[in-house]
Structure 1
Amino acid sequence: MQTLYKAIAELRKTRIVENSSLVANEKAWSLMDEDMQEIFMTSAGAAIDMVLELEPRMAEVDSDELTLEFQKNGQGVKGDVRDIVIKRKNIEWEIGLSIKHNHDAVKHSRLSHKLDFGNEWFGMPCSDEYWEAVEPVFDLLKQEKNYGTKWSEIADKSQKVYIPLLQAFIDEINRANEKNQTMPRKMIEYLIGIEDYYKVVSKDSKRLTMIHTFNMHDTLNKPAKNKVSAITVPIVKLPTRLVALEFKPGSDNTVEMYLDNGWQLSFRIHNASNIIFIALTVLRL
């Protein structure tokens, strides 16, 4: 946000929107050590020139005001994964940035004894067959927790937890796909977001900042009055069908999904504080 403001404010009227997210982020920033602050500022600086080239309307000299705003966390739950939204109200234009540090994972979504992932991900409540399949697994985890057993102490987790949970997950996805073939599109929109955006990923070990484009609805990369970007951002085609969903060869905790239009998803199950999570990685080949 600081780097964006500094770069754009020199070119046009710019304002940072004051809200609770700004206050929270300023507080977190003030608690960060100077070395980490420097890394973040360097990473941000590496991305700004490219974003400005991709989006000529950001630097366009005009009389209207450009605003920079941190999104509230609740927007991510609703499917809008953008961290920063950049707007010009006079021309009804906006773009968003999603900021990642040292990872590309899309979401860490939970599987639990009561969380209905089907309803949350693609608007189709999980079936009775799914709940019957996962109930013994979560009953076991609850029992072990009551005994005070540590996660590392649970014997044969592959056969007792990983495989049955993921098999139930696979079966439920297949059932949902048979009922409604818009499921693949809805799942991708839930995972990567319902709004177009640029994902800026800082990887410290490689001293690298990468920019990924998610232009599903053709709202990115629009020309300004006197400039067209030298770089063309392609429109992303969302999937229309599920091609394959199966365990990754040689793995007991990872499932791979292949969709048309070049989409590949990886679901890796892991735990944190006795809660089961699925870490999702989305690739578009």
Structure 2
Amino acid sequence: MAGQMKAGKAFEYAILREFKGKLEKLTTVKVIDNSPLILAKECFHGFDTQKQGRYLLTASFAVNFLIDIEPRLSNDIDETDILELEILPDSQGEIGDVRDVLAIRAVQKWEIGVSAKNNHKAVKHSRLSPDIDFGKKWLGVNCSSNYFSKVNPIFAKLKDMQKKSDGMRTWGSIDAKSLIVYTPILNAFKDELQRLYDADKERISRQLIEYLVGSKDFYKVIKRKNSVEIQAYNLRGTLNLPFDDIQPKFITPQCSLPTEILDISFKENSETTLIVKLNNNWKLSFRIHNASSLIEPSLKFDINLLKAPSSLFTNTLSVPKEA
């Protein structure tokens, strides 16, 4: 497992553990025992005790704040109102649910989720390949045959290179790979996204953000060296709810989803990055790259949120420096 992924899993476990430790003193808590929990726990215990302590300390600051702004975490209706904590499988991200740690109260028909990030802010790492219909997967609308007629010959050439080298040829051996691979693939993607948007503008605008940013409301918790950042993606108004007359200590406003794509164009002086601007102050970058050092008929996006509505709640908490 890659180091960044291992660190992310360890941080997920630290957040769940801090939720449990703090909330079981206030309400009945049940941790769902599943394979994602086992994996996250193994990753956590794969670090030395000093690193584990750092994860737990950072998670503790974040969890304390979340308890303050989510009264339903610590308040139950009666003894049947159990708070369940669960780590979700990564496969949920494939359908747009980016939450890693879930807190659920079935009796209250309520849940919140946390997306745990270890020192990075990327929103998605989606792939393009001859077998992936990004329109259907992301937006619920099939890509056109024209799109595949543009990208498939390029992927076919890559597959041929892979086959002829017995899978040993590297991307570095391709001269002008931006010109013959990245840029034409990006142009085809750009044209197809524009076509899909033109056919159903408001829905595609909204769906693009919902798939890439998150199909469910959630808190993004980003661990940094000596701080932790909490962002509230309250796109549908399901976060920050009161419990009876107990109000959250801070308000996280609802953010407006976009209704228009204003522009899709290449980043200035770049052959590998598209910038997508939407209304309501949403802006995304799509950087395409090879996911492996060895040639394969597949490419990967590094998708980042460059701008979000000013109503997006963000709070950064300082964490004591390591001794």
TM interval, short-chain normalised = over 0.9
Deviation, structure 1 residue 235: 0.7
Query: Which of 277, 281, 284 lines up with 2:300 in the alignment?
Result: 277
Greater shift, 126-135 or 68-77, is seen at 68-77
User: C-alpha separation between the residues in 2 aligned to 1:154 and 1:190?
Assistant: 33
User: C-alpha separation between the residues in 1 aligned to 2:239 and 2:262?
Assistant: 29
User: C-alpha separation between the residues in 1 aligned to 2:36 and 2:279?
Assistant: 37
Q: SS in structure 2 opposite 1:108? A: coil
**Compared with structure 1, are the counterparts of its residues 92 and 170 closer, same or farther at alpha carbon in structure 2 (3 Å cutoff)?**
same
User: C-alpha separation between the residues in 2 aligned to 1:80 and 1:142?
Assistant: 31
Deviation, structure 1 residue 61: 5.6
Deviation, structure 1 residue 62: 4.6
Q: SS in structure 2 opposite 1:236? A: coil
Query: Which of 17, 26, 31 lines up with 1:16 in the alignment?
Result: 31
Deviation, structure 1 residue 224: 1.9
Unaligned runs of 5+ in 2: 1-15, 310-323
User: C-alpha separation between the residues in 2 aligned to 1:151 and 1:203?
Assistant: 32
Deviation, structure 1 residue 142: 1.9
Identity %: 36
1:1-285 alignment, distance < 5 Å: 1-60=16-75, 62-63=77-78, 64-145=81-162, 146-147=164-165, 148-181=168-201, 182-204=203-225, 207-273=226-292, 274=295, 275-282=298-305, 283-285=307-309
Does the Cα contact within 8 Å between 1:54 and 1:229 map onto a contact in 2? yes
Deviation, structure 1 residue 116: 0.8
User: C-alpha separation between the residues in 1 aligned to 2:308 and 2:289?
Assistant: 23
AA paired with 1:248?
Answer: K
Scaled by the length of structure 1, the TM-score of the pair is 0.94
User: C-alpha separation between the residues in 1 aligned to 2:158 and 2:257?
Assistant: 37
User: C-alpha separation between the residues in 2 aligned to 1:155 and 1:35?
Assistant: 46
User: C-alpha separation between the residues in 1 aligned to 2:280 and 2:290?
Assistant: 32
Q: SS in structure 2 opposite 1:278? A: strand
> What is the root-mean-square deviation in Å for CA atoms of aligned residues?
1.5
Does the Cα contact within 8 Å between 1:12 and 1:62 map onto a contact in 2? no
Q: SS in structure 2 opposite 1:86? A: strand
User: C-alpha separation between the residues in 1 aligned to 2:50 and 2:291?
Assistant: 29
User: C-alpha separation between the residues in 2 aligned to 1:158 and 1:20?
Assistant: 40
Deviation, structure 1 residue 92: 1.4
Deviation, structure 1 residue 139: 2.4
User: C-alpha separation between the residues in 2 aligned to 1:3 and 1:230?
Assistant: 20
Does the Cα contact within 8 Å between 1:266 and 1:280 map onto a contact in 2? yes
User: C-alpha separation between the residues in 2 aligned to 1:255 and 1:75?
Assistant: 26
Q: SS in structure 2 opposite 1:49? A: helix
User: C-alpha separation between the residues in 2 aligned to 1:75 and 1:252?
Assistant: 31
Q: SS in structure 2 opposite 1:91? A: coil
Deviation, structure 1 residue 96: 0.8
User: C-alpha separation between the residues in 1 aligned to 2:270 and 2:224?
Assistant: 26
User: C-alpha separation between the residues in 2 aligned to 1:114 and 1:67?
Assistant: 38
Deviation, structure 1 residue 34: 2.4
Q: SS in structure 2 opposite 1:69? A: strand
Does the Cα contact within 8 Å between 2:76 and 2:82 map onto a contact in 1? no
AA paired with 1:199?
Answer: K
Greater shift, 55-64 or 233-242, is seen at 55-64
Corresponding residue number in structure 1 for 2:320: none
**Compared with structure 1, are the counterparts of its residues 74 and 149 closer, same or farther at alpha carbon in structure 2 (3 Å cutoff)?**
closer
Does the Cα contact within 8 Å between 1:256 and 1:265 map onto a contact in 2? yes
Unaligned runs of 5+ in 1: none
